Structure 1
C-alpha cells in the first residue's frame, strides 16, 4: 500500500469575507506543485459561504463537479435551465462537458452554508452537459458505507462520467468498516469530516485527508464518533 497524508492545517486557505475556503489541492491563489491532484481527483474545496452571498455566474467545461452540503443549503442555477436548492443530505453533480455556466448562492440570510466542492477529471471529453441531484437517507450510512456517486447507471447513486465512486459513512466509536477497491488501478482519497479515524497506523483527525493506492482493500476504524467521505478514482486517465 502506498499513501499520502494531507493534514487539515496544511491545506491552502483563503478568507474573502463572504467565503472562507480551504483547498486540499492547488486551486486559485493556492499553488503547491506536489498537491495538484490525487489521480483523477483534481479539487477538494471545503467552502463556507455567508448568508445571502455566493458565486456569481461562471463557466466550466470538461470537468465532473460534485457539491455536497454539510450544513445549510445552496441555491443553484445554470445555463441548462436547472434551478433549485441543494440541502444537507443531498448531493449534486454536473458533467460540464462542452460547457456550462452556473451560479451558487446561500439562500439563507442568517445562516452560513458549508459544502464540499469536488472536481474530477472526466472519462469522456466534450459530452453534452448534464445535471443530477439526489437526496440520500443518512440512516443508510450509519455504521456502513453508502455510495452516492458511481459510474454505474440505473442504480441508487448519481452517475458520473468517470470510473469513480463517492461514498459516505457515519461511524460510531469503535466501529470498523472494510472498503474493497473496484480496480487495482484505482486509489481512494479518505477525507475525515469529523471525529477521528484510523487507517492502519495512520490516525486522521477532523478535516485530515489520506490518499491510498496499490491496495485491494483497507479498514477504517473509528476512534470516536466520525463522519468520512471516500473518493475512489483511477490513478491514471486509463483507469
Structure 2
C-alpha cells in the first residue's frame, strides 16, 4: 500500500524569519490523520531568513536529524557543542534525558534551507549525544543512519534506517526490504516514479506491505530524496 502526501497539502508555519512546511502535525498545525508514521514523528521543511534562527530551546527523548540542503547551520547546545553544519551534511542529536540547543543561519545574504526530522527512540532517558558527518554519495541509495552505526552510519536509538536517494535523469534503482517493515519516501528535488506513481518535490509516500520499491527518475532531471525504513 502506498499513501502519497502531496507537498501542497502539508501544514505550514510562516513567520517573518521562518517558512516551515510540516509533513506531519506540528506546533499549531494539527491533523489527526497525520500524527506521524511508525517511529517517524516530524519532517519539517524549513527555510530560515539570513541572520535568523531558532533561539535556545529544549528537547528530551527524541532522535533529531537535521539535513542542510542550502547554506549552513551554526549549532550550539548545552553539552558544549559549537558546530557548523554545511549543506550536504547530516546531524543526529539524541536528546536523551534532556538537552538545550539553538540553530542559527550565519549568512547575512543567503537563506538557510534544511530538513528537521524527529524519530521517537525505543528507549528513554540516558545522556544526550551528538553526531555529524558528510556522506559521499557512492551509490544511488546511500545509508546514513542505522540502529547499530554499521559501516560508518550515524547511530540512532530506534529500529530505523535512513538512506539518501540520488539519481540522475532517467536512472532507476530498486530498494528491497522485509514486507513487515514500514517505509517512507520524502522527495527533496526533482520528480520520480515510485511504483508507478508520480512524486514531485516536497511530496512524501507512506508505504506498507511491500518487499521492494522500484524507483525511476522522471523526465529530464535528476532527483534527491530520503528513504526511511522502520519497524
Question: Normalization by structure 1: what TM-score?
Answer: 0.93
Aligned to 1:199: 194
Aligned to 1:73: 72
Equivalent positions of 1:26-175 (< 5 A) are 26-138=25-137, 140-141=138-139, 144-175=140-171
Aligned to 1:24: 23
Give how far 1:207 is off. 0.9
Extract structure 1 runs of 4+ deviating beyond 3 A.
none
Describe the superposition over 1:106-142 as per-residue Cα deviations: whole angstroms up to 9, x where unpaired: 011111110000000001111211110011124x24x
RMSD across aligned C-alpha pairs, in angstroms?
1.1
Describe the superposition over 1:180-204 as per-residue Cα deviations: whole angstroms up to 9, x where unpaired: 12x4432111111111111122110
In 2, Cα distance between equivalents of 1:185 and 1:40? 14
Aligned to 1:237: none
Aligned to 1:216: 211
Give how far 1:175 is off. 1.2
Q: Structure 1 regions of 5+ residues with no counterpart? A: 235-239
Cα 1:154–1:214, aligned 2, differ >3 Å: closer, same or farther? Answer: closer
Secondary structure, counterpart of 2:74 in structure 1: strand
Secondary structure, counterpart of 2:8 in structure 1: helix
Structure 1 residue corresponding to 2:226, chosen from 194, 204, 229: 229
In 1, Cα distance between equivalents of 2:209 and 2:32? 22
More off after superposition, 147-156 vs 212-221:
147-156
Cα 1:65–1:167, aligned 2, differ >3 Å: closer, same or farther? Answer: same
Give how far 1:155 is off. 2.2
Q: Structure 2 regions of 5+ residues with no counterpart? A: none
What is the aligned residue count?
A: 229
In 2, Cα distance between equivalents of 1:61 and 1:37? 18
In 1, Cα distance between equivalents of 2:150 and 2:3? 34
Secondary structure, counterpart of 1:228 in structure 2: strand
Give how far 1:154 is off. 4.5
In 2, Cα distance between equivalents of 1:154 and 1:221? 27
In 1, Cα distance between equivalents of 2:122 and 2:173? 29
Describe the superposition over 1:8-28 as per-residue Cα deviations: whole angstroms up to 9, x where unpaired: 000001210100110000000
Are 1:59 and 1:99, in contact at CA under 8 Å, matched by a contact in 2?
yes
Describe the superposition over 1:41-77 as per-residue Cα deviations: whole angstroms up to 9, x where unpaired: 0000000001110001100000000000011100100
Secondary structure, counterpart of 1:155 in structure 2: helix
